[in-house]
Chains A and B, each alone.
Chain A
Amino acid sequence: MLKSLISGIAGCLLICSSTLQLQAQEKFIDKNGIIIFEASEEVFEEVKAINKSVTTIYDSQSNKIASLALVIGFQFKNSLMQEHFNENYVESETYPKAIFRGQLQDFDLKELGPDVMDVNLKGILNFHGKDKEITTTVQMQRIGDVLQMIGGFIVTPLDFDIKIPKIVRNKIAKEVQVKIDFKLSKK
Protein backbone atom coordinates (compact mmCIF):
# COMPACT_ATOMS: atom_id res chain seq x y z
CA MET A 1 0.00 0.00 0.00
CA LEU A 2 2.64 2.44 1.15
CA LYS A 3 4.93 1.30 -1.60
CA SER A 4 2.35 1.90 -4.33
CA LEU A 5 1.57 5.32 -2.81
CA ILE A 6 5.23 6.30 -2.91
CA SER A 7 5.68 5.05 -6.45
CA GLY A 8 2.47 6.89 -7.41
CA ILE A 9 3.78 10.15 -5.96
CA ALA A 10 7.17 9.60 -7.57
CA GLY A 11 5.43 8.95 -10.89
CA CYS A 12 3.40 12.16 -10.53
CA LEU A 13 6.54 14.15 -9.74
CA LEU A 14 8.32 12.65 -12.71
CA ILE A 15 5.47 13.59 -15.05
CA CYS A 16 5.23 17.07 -13.54
CA SER A 17 8.94 17.75 -13.83
CA SER A 18 9.13 16.41 -17.38
CA THR A 19 6.22 18.59 -18.53
CA LEU A 20 7.82 21.55 -16.79
CA GLN A 21 11.05 20.84 -18.60
CA LEU A 22 9.18 20.48 -21.85
CA GLN A 23 7.49 23.84 -21.36
CA ALA A 24 10.74 25.51 -20.45
CA GLN A 25 12.26 24.29 -23.69
CA GLU A 26 9.52 25.77 -25.81
CA LYS A 27 10.33 29.40 -25.12
CA PHE A 28 12.25 31.62 -27.49
CA ILE A 29 13.48 35.00 -26.30
CA ASP A 30 14.98 38.09 -27.87
CA LYS A 31 16.25 40.76 -25.47
CA ASN A 32 17.66 42.98 -28.20
CA GLY A 33 14.87 43.09 -30.73
CA ILE A 34 14.62 46.00 -33.13
CA ILE A 35 11.59 48.17 -33.80
CA ILE A 36 11.78 51.08 -36.20
CA PHE A 37 8.96 53.49 -36.82
CA GLU A 38 8.84 56.14 -39.47
CA ALA A 39 6.37 58.94 -40.11
CA SER A 40 8.38 61.04 -42.53
CA GLU A 41 6.87 63.38 -45.08
CA GLU A 42 8.74 64.19 -48.26
CA VAL A 43 10.78 67.40 -48.22
CA PHE A 44 10.59 67.69 -44.43
CA GLU A 45 13.02 66.37 -41.86
CA GLU A 46 12.97 62.63 -41.32
CA VAL A 47 10.68 61.50 -38.49
CA LYS A 48 12.15 58.15 -37.63
CA ALA A 49 13.23 56.34 -34.50
CA ILE A 50 14.83 53.05 -33.63
CA ASN A 51 14.65 50.93 -30.50
CA LYS A 52 17.27 48.20 -30.25
CA SER A 53 16.39 46.76 -26.87
CA VAL A 54 12.92 45.36 -27.41
CA THR A 55 12.04 42.21 -25.49
CA THR A 56 10.07 39.50 -27.25
CA ILE A 57 9.03 36.13 -25.90
CA TYR A 58 7.53 33.42 -28.09
CA ASP A 59 5.99 30.26 -26.72
CA SER A 60 5.90 27.63 -29.46
CA GLN A 61 3.37 25.49 -27.61
CA SER A 62 0.66 28.12 -27.55
CA ASN A 63 2.09 30.20 -30.45
CA LYS A 64 1.69 33.22 -28.20
CA ILE A 65 3.97 36.20 -28.54
CA ALA A 66 4.55 39.00 -26.07
CA SER A 67 6.68 41.97 -26.97
CA LEU A 68 7.66 44.96 -24.89
CA ALA A 69 9.34 48.18 -25.99
CA LEU A 70 10.31 50.82 -23.47
CA VAL A 71 9.13 54.01 -25.15
CA ILE A 72 12.05 56.14 -23.99
CA GLY A 73 14.33 53.64 -25.75
CA PHE A 74 13.30 54.98 -29.18
CA GLN A 75 16.25 56.97 -30.50
CA PHE A 76 15.90 59.75 -33.03
CA LYS A 77 18.73 61.36 -35.00
CA ASN A 78 17.57 64.72 -33.68
CA SER A 79 17.59 64.80 -29.88
CA LEU A 80 15.14 67.72 -29.84
CA MET A 81 12.66 65.64 -31.81
CA GLN A 82 13.22 62.81 -29.34
CA GLU A 83 12.42 65.16 -26.47
CA HIS A 84 9.21 66.40 -28.12
CA PHE A 85 8.17 62.86 -28.96
CA ASN A 86 8.51 61.78 -25.33
CA GLU A 87 7.15 64.86 -23.62
CA ASN A 88 4.44 66.21 -25.90
CA TYR A 89 3.25 63.35 -28.06
CA VAL A 90 3.48 59.93 -26.43
CA GLU A 91 3.90 61.13 -22.82
CA SER A 92 6.39 58.38 -22.04
CA GLU A 93 6.60 59.36 -18.39
CA THR A 94 2.93 58.42 -17.93
CA TYR A 95 2.97 55.58 -20.48
CA PRO A 96 6.50 54.15 -20.42
CA LYS A 97 5.73 50.89 -22.26
CA ALA A 98 4.42 49.70 -25.58
CA ILE A 99 3.22 46.11 -25.22
CA PHE A 100 2.05 43.74 -27.91
CA ARG A 101 0.34 40.49 -27.03
CA GLY A 102 -0.67 38.20 -29.83
CA GLN A 103 -0.60 34.82 -31.46
CA LEU A 104 0.78 33.32 -34.65
CA GLN A 105 -2.11 31.95 -36.72
CA ASP A 106 -2.20 28.40 -38.11
CA PHE A 107 1.46 27.90 -37.46
CA ASP A 108 3.48 24.92 -36.33
CA LEU A 109 7.10 25.52 -35.41
CA LYS A 110 7.97 21.99 -36.56
CA GLU A 111 7.25 23.02 -40.15
CA LEU A 112 9.63 25.95 -40.02
CA GLY A 113 13.14 25.64 -41.43
CA PRO A 114 15.73 27.85 -43.13
CA ASP A 115 13.23 28.72 -45.87
CA VAL A 116 11.37 31.96 -45.24
CA MET A 117 7.72 31.40 -44.43
CA ASP A 118 4.88 33.92 -44.26
CA VAL A 119 2.96 33.62 -41.03
CA ASN A 120 -0.10 35.59 -39.95
CA LEU A 121 0.14 37.37 -36.66
CA LYS A 122 -2.79 38.80 -34.77
CA GLY A 123 -2.88 40.61 -31.48
CA ILE A 124 -3.36 43.75 -29.45
CA LEU A 125 -0.87 46.59 -29.23
CA ASN A 126 -1.19 48.69 -26.11
CA PHE A 127 0.48 52.08 -26.40
CA HIS A 128 -0.23 55.47 -24.86
CA GLY A 129 -2.95 53.86 -22.75
CA LYS A 130 -4.91 52.65 -25.79
CA ASP A 131 -5.44 49.23 -27.33
CA LYS A 132 -5.27 48.66 -31.06
CA GLU A 133 -5.83 45.38 -32.83
CA ILE A 134 -2.99 44.48 -35.17
CA THR A 135 -3.27 41.94 -37.98
CA THR A 136 -0.20 41.44 -40.10
CA THR A 137 2.01 38.92 -41.85
CA VAL A 138 5.52 38.26 -40.60
CA GLN A 139 8.35 36.51 -42.39
CA MET A 140 9.84 33.74 -40.31
CA GLN A 141 12.75 31.39 -40.68
CA ARG A 142 14.59 29.05 -38.37
CA ILE A 143 18.33 28.57 -38.32
CA GLY A 144 19.30 26.13 -35.60
CA ASP A 145 17.97 27.42 -32.32
CA VAL A 146 17.34 30.92 -33.63
CA LEU A 147 14.02 32.07 -35.01
CA GLN A 148 14.06 35.15 -37.14
CA MET A 149 10.89 37.20 -37.37
CA ILE A 150 10.67 40.20 -39.66
CA GLY A 151 7.61 42.21 -40.47
CA GLY A 152 5.74 45.43 -40.27
CA PHE A 153 2.40 47.12 -39.94
CA ILE A 154 0.83 50.54 -40.18
CA VAL A 155 -0.76 52.53 -37.39
CA THR A 156 -1.93 56.11 -37.06
CA PRO A 157 -1.41 58.58 -34.20
CA LEU A 158 -5.21 58.68 -33.94
CA ASP A 159 -5.30 54.93 -33.11
CA PHE A 160 -3.56 55.75 -29.85
CA ASP A 161 -5.17 59.09 -29.19
CA ILE A 162 -1.93 60.95 -29.87
CA LYS A 163 -2.59 64.54 -30.79
CA ILE A 164 -0.31 66.23 -33.32
CA PRO A 165 -0.29 70.04 -33.03
CA LYS A 166 -1.45 71.94 -36.12
CA ILE A 167 1.89 73.62 -36.84
CA VAL A 168 3.72 70.35 -37.35
CA ARG A 169 0.83 68.38 -38.83
CA ASN A 170 2.13 68.58 -42.41
CA LYS A 171 5.59 67.46 -41.32
CA ILE A 172 4.40 64.20 -39.80
CA ALA A 173 2.82 61.50 -41.95
CA LYS A 174 -0.74 60.46 -41.16
CA GLU A 175 0.36 56.84 -41.29
CA VAL A 176 3.19 55.52 -39.22
CA GLN A 177 5.17 52.61 -40.64
CA VAL A 178 6.34 50.20 -37.97
CA LYS A 179 8.98 47.59 -38.75
CA ILE A 180 10.03 44.73 -36.52
CA ASP A 181 13.14 42.59 -36.60
CA PHE A 182 13.48 39.92 -33.91
CA LYS A 183 15.98 37.13 -33.50
CA LEU A 184 14.61 34.78 -30.88
CA SER A 185 16.91 32.26 -29.24
CA LYS A 186 15.79 29.10 -27.53
CA LYS A 187 15.83 29.37 -23.78
Chain B
Amino acid sequence: MMSKKSLIASLLILAICALAFMGYKYLNPGQRNVAAETARYELSADELFSGFTKEGNVYIDQVLLTSGNVTDVEKNSVTLDDKVQVNFISTPLSKVEKGNHISIKGRCIGYDDLLELVKIDQATITN
Protein backbone atom coordinates (compact mmCIF):
# COMPACT_ATOMS: atom_id res chain seq x y z
CA MET B 1 0.00 0.00 0.00
CA MET B 2 1.42 3.31 -1.06
CA SER B 3 1.36 6.13 1.44
CA LYS B 4 -0.47 9.33 0.57
CA LYS B 5 2.81 11.23 0.46
CA SER B 6 4.51 8.97 -2.04
CA LEU B 7 1.34 8.94 -4.18
CA ILE B 8 1.38 12.75 -4.36
CA ALA B 9 5.10 12.71 -5.08
CA SER B 10 4.74 10.22 -7.93
CA LEU B 11 1.81 12.16 -9.37
CA LEU B 12 3.91 15.31 -9.21
CA ILE B 13 6.79 13.65 -11.02
CA LEU B 14 4.38 12.40 -13.65
CA ALA B 15 2.95 15.91 -14.08
CA ILE B 16 6.44 17.41 -14.43
CA CYS B 17 7.35 14.79 -17.02
CA ALA B 18 4.15 15.50 -18.96
CA LEU B 19 4.85 19.25 -18.87
CA ALA B 20 8.43 18.75 -19.98
CA PHE B 21 7.24 16.54 -22.83
CA MET B 22 4.68 19.15 -23.87
CA GLY B 23 7.32 21.86 -23.71
CA TYR B 24 9.67 19.77 -25.80
CA LYS B 25 6.92 19.07 -28.34
CA TYR B 26 6.10 22.78 -28.44
CA LEU B 27 9.69 23.73 -29.22
CA ASN B 28 10.31 20.72 -31.49
CA PRO B 29 7.10 20.05 -33.36
CA GLY B 30 9.04 18.06 -35.94
CA GLN B 31 8.62 18.36 -39.66
CA ARG B 32 5.38 19.55 -41.15
CA ASN B 33 3.29 16.64 -42.41
CA VAL B 34 1.45 17.99 -45.43
CA ALA B 35 -0.02 14.59 -46.37
CA ALA B 36 -1.85 14.42 -43.03
CA GLU B 37 -3.23 17.97 -43.17
CA THR B 38 -6.69 18.82 -44.45
CA ALA B 39 -6.68 20.71 -47.72
CA ARG B 40 -7.78 24.35 -47.60
CA TYR B 41 -8.63 24.60 -51.30
CA GLU B 42 -9.71 22.29 -54.06
CA LEU B 43 -9.30 23.49 -57.64
CA SER B 44 -8.02 22.46 -61.06
CA ALA B 45 -4.44 23.11 -62.16
CA ASP B 46 -5.83 25.66 -64.59
CA GLU B 47 -7.78 27.52 -61.89
CA LEU B 48 -4.76 27.51 -59.60
CA PHE B 49 -2.59 29.01 -62.32
CA SER B 50 -5.01 31.80 -63.21
CA GLY B 51 -5.73 32.34 -59.51
CA PHE B 52 -2.14 33.43 -59.09
CA THR B 53 -2.59 36.41 -61.32
CA LYS B 54 -6.00 37.38 -59.94
CA GLU B 55 -5.93 36.64 -56.23
CA GLY B 56 -2.24 37.15 -55.58
CA ASN B 57 -0.69 34.82 -53.07
CA VAL B 58 -3.62 33.44 -51.08
CA TYR B 59 -2.53 29.90 -51.94
CA ILE B 60 1.07 30.24 -50.77
CA ASP B 61 1.99 27.79 -47.99
CA GLN B 62 -1.55 26.33 -48.09
CA VAL B 63 -2.32 22.66 -48.49
CA LEU B 64 -4.51 22.14 -51.53
CA LEU B 65 -6.03 19.52 -53.77
CA THR B 66 -5.58 19.94 -57.48
CA SER B 67 -5.88 17.87 -60.63
CA GLY B 68 -4.92 17.98 -64.27
CA ASN B 69 -3.38 16.13 -67.18
CA VAL B 70 0.25 15.14 -66.87
CA THR B 71 2.27 16.99 -69.49
CA ASP B 72 5.75 16.17 -68.20
CA VAL B 73 7.31 13.58 -65.89
CA GLU B 74 10.74 14.15 -64.42
CA LYS B 75 12.53 12.52 -61.49
CA ASN B 76 10.10 12.98 -58.60
CA SER B 77 8.00 15.67 -60.20
CA VAL B 78 5.25 16.02 -62.78
CA THR B 79 3.78 19.00 -64.59
CA LEU B 80 0.01 19.35 -64.86
CA ASP B 81 -1.45 21.06 -67.94
CA ASP B 82 1.91 22.85 -68.47
CA LYS B 83 0.88 25.15 -65.63
CA VAL B 84 1.57 23.51 -62.29
CA GLN B 85 4.72 21.66 -61.26
CA VAL B 86 4.19 19.09 -58.53
CA ASN B 87 7.06 17.64 -56.48
CA PHE B 88 6.26 14.47 -54.58
CA ILE B 89 7.43 13.46 -51.12
CA SER B 90 8.50 10.03 -52.29
CA THR B 91 9.04 8.68 -55.78
CA PRO B 92 6.44 6.06 -56.66
CA LEU B 93 6.13 7.61 -60.08
CA SER B 94 6.41 4.51 -62.23
CA LYS B 95 2.63 4.47 -62.67
CA VAL B 96 2.35 8.07 -63.84
CA GLU B 97 2.73 8.71 -67.54
CA LYS B 98 2.25 11.66 -69.83
CA GLY B 99 -1.44 12.12 -70.64
CA ASN B 100 -2.68 10.61 -67.35
CA HIS B 101 -5.21 12.60 -65.40
CA ILE B 102 -4.14 12.73 -61.76
CA SER B 103 -5.28 14.36 -58.52
CA ILE B 104 -2.78 15.38 -55.90
CA LYS B 105 -2.56 16.92 -52.47
CA GLY B 106 0.36 19.19 -51.70
CA ARG B 107 1.63 22.51 -50.45
CA CYS B 108 1.69 25.45 -52.83
CA ILE B 109 5.00 27.32 -52.65
CA GLY B 110 4.38 30.03 -55.23
CA TYR B 111 4.81 31.16 -58.79
CA ASP B 112 8.02 30.57 -60.69
CA ASP B 113 8.37 33.31 -63.31
CA LEU B 114 11.41 31.75 -64.98
CA LEU B 115 9.34 28.79 -66.16
CA GLU B 116 5.91 30.40 -65.72
CA LEU B 117 4.71 27.59 -63.48
CA VAL B 118 2.98 27.39 -60.14
CA LYS B 119 4.99 25.10 -57.85
CA ILE B 120 3.72 22.56 -55.33
CA ASP B 121 5.91 20.49 -53.01
CA GLN B 122 5.46 17.63 -50.49
CA ALA B 123 2.72 16.16 -52.67
CA THR B 124 0.97 12.81 -52.63
CA ILE B 125 -1.26 11.30 -55.32
CA THR B 126 -4.88 11.07 -54.18
CA ASN B 127 -6.54 9.22 -57.07
Contact = CB atoms under 8 A, between A and B. Distances in A.
Interface of A: 29, 31-32, 45, 52-53, 55, 57, 66, 68, 70, 72-73, 75-80, 82, 86, 93, 96-97, 185
Given A68-B114, A97-B110, A32 B77 contact: yes
B121 to A, nearest CB: 5
27 contacts: A31-B74, A31-B77, A31-B115, A31-B117, A32-B77, A45-B28, A53-B85, A55-B112, A55-B114, A70-B109, A70-B110, A72-B109, A73-B109, A73-B121, A75-B31, A75-B32, A75-B121, A78-B29, A78-B30, A79-B32, A82-B32, A93-B57, A93-B60, A96-B57, A96-B60, A97-B110, A97-B113
Contacts of B117: 31
Interface of B: 26-32, 57, 60-61, 74-77, 85, 87, 109-110, 112-115, 117, 119, 121-122
A40 B125 CA distance: 34
Contacts of B85: 31, 53
Contacts of A70: 109-110, 112, 119
A151 B76 CA distance: 22
Nearest to A67: B114
Contacts of A79: 29-32
Given A53-B119, A72-B110, A77-B30, A32 B87 contact: yes
Contacts of A55: 112, 114-115
A36 B34 CA distance: 20
Nearest to B77: A32
A55 B85 CA distance: 11
Given A77-B30, A80-B29, 19 more contacts: A32-B75, A32-B76, A32-B87, A52-B87, A52-B121, A53-B77, A53-B85, A53-B119, A55-B114, A68-B113, A73-B110, A75-B31, A75-B32, A78-B29, A80-B26, A80-B27, A82-B32, A86-B61, A93-B60
